[in-house]
Amino acid sequence: MSKITRISMTFPSDLLEEFDKITAEMGYTSRSKAIQDAVRSFISEHKWLREEEGSYAGVLMMLYDHEVKGLEHELTHIQHEYTHLISSSMHVHLTDRDCLEVIAVRGEASEIKALQDQLSTKRGVKIVKLLITAI
């Protein structure tokens, strides 16, 4: 077992309150265990960004405002540049302005990251989340 290190953390009170509420609902009896799991998840989610080698498969979830002029054209253009990565996509209308695009990807980590970055930086894109795994 790894050596245990005690640390001190500072949280805004509303963030800690929400964290405690959610972890209690999930059945955690230890705040430390919940924070350890959250940190492991964070590391797992971001570790692949450092390595940028190897084949990965995943899903990009993108929420955007389709009313932003020219955005849909830009997003389509970007996706056409990455057809070698994109296996499939699904478009969902959430509200009168908001759309959800789910894009299945498979390929090299560095290329998936480049696609994610290009989509994320467009004006009108609210969030791009990636769920990825090595293959």
Residues 20 and 77 in one domain: no
85 neighbors 106 (Cβ within 8 angstroms): yes
Domain of residue 100 covers 52-134
What average pLDDT does range 1-21 have in this prediction?
91
> What is the domain count for the chain?
2
Express each pLDDT in 22-78 by its tens digit: 999 999 999 999 999 998 878 776 776 666 677 889 999 999 999 999 999 999 999
Task: Write phi, then psi, for 98 (nearest 5 degrees).
Answer: -95, 135
Dihedral (C-alpha) 87, 50, 48, 75: value to the nearest 10 degrees? Answer: -30
When the pLDDT of each residue in the chain is averaged and rounded to a whole number, the result is 91
Residues 128 and 114 in one domain: yes
CATH number of the domain within which 116 lies: 3.30.70.1150
Whether 3 is covered by a domain: the verdict is: no
pTM of the entire predicted model = 0.68
Residues 122 and 64 in one domain: yes
